[in-house]
């Protein structure tokens, strides 16, 4: 029996579904090892097996406390292995470790909402953190694309990187009608609107599509943050009609949107995996996707692709899906096949095998 600590402090963030899937199925497949799950809030997750224990770890990412207090907690636990669910970790922790690297987006994209000097300094910090993460006993990534990026950028031995594809499950809720869209034709996007998500070009492409489909609506779903106001200003300034910023909506209504949308649009410029597109396939919702980074690897033939840097090409893809019933039918059929390739349980099994390999070295 080994003692394994999993740093799951980022469970409430966008990486939360990865961690929840990992923890859920590790409990199902491993009754032998003893697990210590590090959480900022002990209510973020509850174990269902006795060999899984929660360790309260109220420590922020990229903080001095992460470097010193987290190291002290780990020294007290004395684990045989630590799995850090993100690249960041205490740089002076020298025990056996596995790091998950979801993508290199924070390094590859400039952050124009930061002062140029701040952006430069932060990206230098991210590069250092990423470099150190790649020196772990093993690295886990969600796609071959990310693995290739890491190998090229940091000269890592490819055999030290394990690709563990993530998954998406149908929302475990009964769909509830989203009344503003009852009886209307719409496409939608759900998630944050950070610039690399490319929602500005999606809106501009939608404006082009409106000339042929005047009754179409675009929904941008997700909790409103700083970049929403820029997008709203774009809509107001250009006089683009029928763009709706819904804010957060509950899973019951999100399921209804998937069930009733003409298509799900995913225009991102950079992803490590792309869970929302897979989620749409569970609902027979045609997927229109960017062809950037890992997305063709993950979606295969189950998406209708476009160049995310070209507004006209995004518009083309939307119009083709809206106007071709056979294309829609094929996308839905291919989506049913594609989602069968992914499983959280399989991901957990592959991760556990990585733990075992590191533990015996």
Hunting for tokens 């069968």 — which residue is that?
340
- The stretch 202-230 carries a mean pLDDT of 95
What is the greatest pairwise CA distance in the chain?
Answer: 65
Nearest in space to 286 (alpha carbons), one of 296, 295, 277: 277
List, by residue range, all CATH 3.40.50.2000 domains of the chain: 3-167+343-359, 179-341
Asked whether 351 and 26 are in contact (CB, 8 A), the reply is yes
Query: How do beta strands 34-39 and 161-163 pair?
Result: unpaired
Q: Which DSSP letter does residue 40 get?
A: S
Asked whether 145 and 297 are in contact (CB, 8 A), the reply is yes
- Contacts of 33 by beta carbon, 8 Å cutoff, 6+ apart: 1, 2, 3, 4, 51, 355
Report helix angle 199-209 to 228-238, nearest 10. 30
CA distance linking residue 342 with residue 350, whole number of Å: 12
Q: What is the pLDDT of residue 356?
A: 97
Band (119; pLDDT cuts 50, 70, 90): low
Hunting for tokens 């020294």 — which residue is that?
75
Band (131; pLDDT cuts 50, 70, 90): confident
- The stretch 209-220 carries a mean pLDDT of 98
Q: What is the pLDDT of residue 109?
A: 66
Give the CA-trace dihedral at 296, 301, 303, 306, to 10 degrees.
60
Asked if pLDDT for residue 124 goes beyond 90, the answer is no
Asked if pLDDT for residue 6 goes beyond 90, the answer is yes
Of the chain, the percentage scoring pLDDT greater than 90 comes to 82
Nearest in space to 178 (alpha carbons), one of 114, 258, 90, 110: 258
Q: What is the pLDDT of residue 350?
A: 98
Asked if pLDDT for residue 77 goes beyond 70, the answer is yes
Asked whether 232 and 226 are in contact (CB, 8 A), the reply is no
Give the CA-trace dihedral at 114, 118, 123, 128, to 10 degrees.
-150
Per-residue pLDDT of 13-25, as tens digits, reads 877 899 999 999 9
Domain 3-167+343-359: CATH architecture, name and number where available: 3-Layer(aba) Sandwich (3.40)
- Contacts of 75 by beta carbon, 8 Å cutoff, 6+ apart: none
Q: Which CATH class is domain 179-341?
A: alpha beta
The SS3 of residue 93 is coil
CA distance linking residue 70 with residue 85, whole number of Å: 14
Q: 97-101, 108-112, 125-129, 223-227: which has the highest mean pLDDT?
A: 97-101
Q: What is the pLDDT of residue 133?
A: 86
Q: What is the pLDDT of residue 177?
A: 97
Q: What is the pLDDT of residue 114?
A: 58
- The stretch 291-315 carries a mean pLDDT of 98
- The stretch 250-254 carries a mean pLDDT of 96
Q: What is the pLDDT of residue 127?
A: 77
CA distance linking residue 37 with residue 340, whole number of Å: 29
What does pLDDT average to over the chain?
93
Asked whether 270 and 108 are in contact (CB, 8 A), the reply is yes
Per-residue pLDDT of 25-63, as tens digits, reads 999 999 999 999 999 999 999 999 999 999 999 998 878
CA distance linking residue 234 with residue 4, whole number of Å: 49
CA distance linking residue 111 with residue 24, whole number of Å: 34
Q: What is the pLDDT of residue 195?
A: 92
Per-residue pLDDT of 319-344, as tens digits, reads 999 999 999 999 999 999 999 999 99
Nearest in space to 8 (alpha carbons), one of 52, 50, 68: 52
Q: Which DSSP letter does residue 54 get?
A: E
């Amino acid at each position: 029996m080994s003692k394994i600590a999993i740093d799951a402090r980022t469970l409430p963030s966008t990486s939360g579904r990865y961690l929840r899937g990992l923890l859920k199925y590790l409990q199902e497949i491993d009754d032998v090892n003893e697990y210590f799950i590090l959480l900022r809030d002990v209510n973020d997750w509850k174990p269902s097996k006795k060999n899984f224990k929660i360790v309260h770890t109220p420590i922020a990412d990229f903080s001095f406390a992460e470097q010193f207090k987290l190291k002290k907690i780990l020294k007290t636990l004395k684990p045989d292995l630590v799995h850090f669910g993100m690249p960041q970790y205490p740089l002076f922790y020298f025990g056996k470790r596995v790091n998950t690297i979801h993508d290199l987006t924070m390094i590859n994209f400039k952050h124009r909402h930061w002062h140029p000097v701040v952006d430069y300094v932060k990206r230098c910090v991210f590069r250092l953190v990423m470099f150190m993460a790649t020196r772990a006993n093993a690295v886990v990534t969600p796609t071959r694309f990310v693995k290739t990026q890491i190998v090229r950028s940091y000269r890592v031995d490819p055999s030290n990187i394990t690709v563990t594809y993530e998954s998406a499950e149908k929302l475990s809720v009964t769909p509830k009608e989203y009344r503003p869209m009852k009886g209307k034709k719409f496409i939608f996007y759900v998630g944050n609107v950070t610039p690399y998500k490319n929602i500005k070009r999606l809106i501009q492409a939608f404006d082009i599509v409106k000339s042929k489909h005047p009754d179409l609506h675009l929904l941008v779903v997700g909790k409103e943050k700083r970049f929403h106001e820029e997008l709203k200003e774009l809509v107001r300034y250009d006089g683009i009609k029928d763009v709706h910023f819904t804010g957060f909506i509950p899973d019951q209504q999100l399921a209804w949107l998937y069930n009733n949308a003409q298509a799900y649009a995913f225009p991102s410029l950079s992803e490590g995996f792309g869970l929302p597109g897979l989620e749409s396939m569970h609902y027979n919702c045609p997927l229109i996707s960017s062809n950037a980074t890992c997305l063709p690897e993950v979606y295969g033939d189950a998406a209708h692709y476009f160049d995310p840097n070209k507004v006209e090409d995004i518009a083309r893809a939307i119009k083709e899906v809206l106007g071709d019933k056979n294309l829609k039918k094929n996308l839905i059929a291919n989506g049913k096949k594609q989602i069968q390739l992914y499983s959280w349980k399989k991901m957990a099994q592959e991760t556990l095998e990585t733990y075992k390999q590191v533990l015996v070295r």
